[in-house]
Amino acid sequence: MDVSALQKIRYTYKPKLPACLSQNIDNISIEFGVPTESDADQQDLKNLFKHSYGKPLATFVSGKNDTIRRELKVGVILSGGQAPGGHNVIAGLFDGLKKGNPASKLYGFLGGPSGLINNKAIELTGEIIDNYRNTGGFDIIGSGRTKIETPEQFAASYETAEKLGLNAVVIIGGDDSNTNAALLAEYFTGKGSSTQVIGCPKTIDGDLKNEYIETSFGHDTACKTYSELIGNIERDANSAKKYWHFIKLMGRAASHIALECALQTQPNICFISEEVEAKEISLSRVVDQICQSIVKRADNGDNFGVVLIPEGLVEFIPEMKNLIEELNDLIAGNEEEFAKKSSFIDQLYWLETKLSIPSYEFLNTLPPEIARELLMARDPHGNVQVSRIETEKLLIGMVEKHLAKLKKEGRYKGKFSALGHFFGYEGRCAFPSNFDADYCYSLGFCAFVLIASGLTGYLSSVRNLVKPAAEWIAGGVPLTMMMNMEQRHGSKKPVIKKALVKLDDRPFLTFAAQRDIWAVKTSFLFPGSIQYFGPAEVCDQTTKTLMLEKS
């Protein structure tokens, strides 16, 4: 196979493991904490997870482990959107299994959770794994967004596990996929099955985190890739001095990616959706804020700049939030009827009598292409596909209008020419940074130890991540501990709580303390591309967010 020079050399990179996992594996034992409680809605979750609620935290320590040499059969699933490092989770899991017992087998389910439902799997051999070590992408087995939710899908997953004689299934996914892992673990135990279920925290969005999951994998590499691109655009803007760049960044509801990129690149403006929600900032105020910066910079002769927009922003602007919530419930409750409305006009007509008056009126004020995007099909978890809503274009259009008004009133004398960008897919399959390569390999190895030790319903956890890898702490967090009840598809469902940006935490406060200066004075930073070889302070550092959170 023809491969690039970087790919070839990355195959040989040896990911760093925490000391507790790099020792003789017969000496990796588990220390259990006290029984845990869910994040909220304890009684509801106790009733729903009769067999798996309240398990204790697990931490790996030195000590004898009698079960680690067992011969095991494990199936692995990549679930949801791609995130750099997924291949290394599989490599870490594979190497752990083979170290435990060379006869152990790893199966890869093809195309995401549907591979488990439909029993579509391949055996992952050393030869296959070696072609994917330290590379980006999920193409080793593919990914998918199917949700295991119907009784038939649970039964089919059980049948596959029985047929293959699986000791465990590892689900590598975000909050929704790990909610699925928790439900599957409960279902298998309830059926008397011995198949264990272990999750791994994946998502570039960075919204699957808590005290024990410091970050989801892929977030580091994706943010570094977007920051490189933003830095390049800033330098272009500062050289040509003629464009305002409006850059939408992936991340769903949470603004972790936008915040990290802002800390890395110091743009003129960056919105944080969580702040917009907390302060109930309306769409016109968002536009006003951008225009204030444009006017002040134009007064200094700077008719250029960079605005960062988290993709979830639209979901948090109060009038938009109400509209989306109403639409979600209406569409989920009338799925078949809504699907029959084939044209946009028919959809609007149908909604006229069903939406509240303010929401219907607001929908009509939006440019038709944005309204159309809001009505598009939800993803299998009931979420609006925010990556498909062109917020950057919506804002450019509104800013243009407002500036024209200010010009008429003599309050703006500059020139405004804007370009829109959307960065998302550019970063999801990048070669994992050294941090993600090491972290992912450790998560995979950690999943193996959890399985070999007989645990189910746990999320693989590696923490103390701002320290060198040798000092990382590894173990497992009970999945039910991270759950609460939320409105989904029109009814209350158990879900892993999304971690949004905390407005009283250091990363946001650090950004907030500087943004007024950035808004007027060009303060751009140019982080450059990810470095894989060289000094540790350039190659192995993780996100500014994590460093600030832990400082």
CA 193/CA 101 separation, integer angstroms: 23
Name the residue nearer to ligand FBP (CB basis): 97 or 140.
140
**Partner residues linked to 59 by β-bridges:** 31, 475
Smallest separation, CB 9 to ligand FBP (Å) = 28
Q: Going residue by residue from 426 to 455, which x/- string records binding to ligand FBP, judged by CB under 6 A?
A: --x---------------------------
The verdict on whether 205 is a catalytic residue reads yes
What residues from 170 to 209 belong to the interface with ligand FBP (CB under 6 A)? Answer: 174, 203-205
> Residue 501 gets which letter from DSSP?
P
Q: DSSP states of 443-470 as a string? A: HHHHHHHHHHTT--SEEEEEE-TTS-GG
Name the residue nearer to ligand FBP (CB basis): 237 or 386.
386
Smallest separation, CB 59 to ligand FBP (Å) = 26
| Residues 6 or more apart in contact with residue 180 via CB below 8 angstroms | 79, 113, 147, 148, 149, 171, 173
**Hey, is 167 helix, strand or coil?**
coil
CB-based burial of residue 347 (10 Å sphere; 0-12 exposed, 13-18 middle, 19+ buried)?
middle
Smallest separation, CB 438 to ligand FBP (Å) = 20
Q: Going residue by residue from 292 to 331, which x/- string records binding to ligand FBP, judged by CB under 6 A?
A: -------------------x--------------------
386 binds ligand FBP (CB under 6 A): yes
> Residue 534 gets which letter from DSSP?
S
Size of the site for ligand FBP (CB under 6 A): 15
Smallest separation, CB 276 to ligand FBP (Å) = 18
Out of 95, 205, 302, 438, which one is annotated catalytic? 205
CA 294/CA 304 separation, integer angstroms: 8
Give the strand pairing for 244-249 and 305-310: parallel
Name the residue nearer to ligand FBP (CB basis): 204 or 499.
204
Name the residue nearer to ligand FBP (CB basis): 160 or 178.
178
Dihedral sign for Cα atoms in the order 376, 382, 388, 391: positive
Name the residue nearer to ligand FBP (CB basis): 203 or 545.
203
Name the residue nearer to ligand FBP (CB basis): 57 or 141.
141
The residue written with tokens 């005290």 in the block is 211
The residue written with tokens 């023809």 in the block is 2
Q: Going residue by residue from 388 to 427, which x/- string records binding to ligand FBP, judged by CB under 6 A?
A: ------------------------------------x---
What residues from 223 to 282 belong to the interface with ligand FBP (CB under 6 A)? Answer: 250-252
CA 170/CA 124 separation, integer angstroms: 14
Name the residue nearer to ligand FBP (CB basis): 321 or 407.
321
Smallest separation, CB 364 to ligand FBP (Å) = 26
According to CB under 6 A, which one of 80, 84, 199, 507 is a site residue for ligand FBP?
Answer: 80
287 binds ligand FBP (CB under 6 A): no
SS (H, E, C) 19-65: HHHHCCHHHEEEEEEEECCCCCCHHHHHHHCCCCCCCEEEEEEECCC
Nearest by Cα to 323 from 371, 378, 288? 371
Smallest separation, CB 92 to ligand FBP (Å) = 19
Q: Which positions are catalytic?
A: 205
Please report, as ranges, the residues that interact with ligand FBP according to CB under 6 A.
80-81, 83, 174, 203-205, 250-252, 311, 386-387, 424, 428
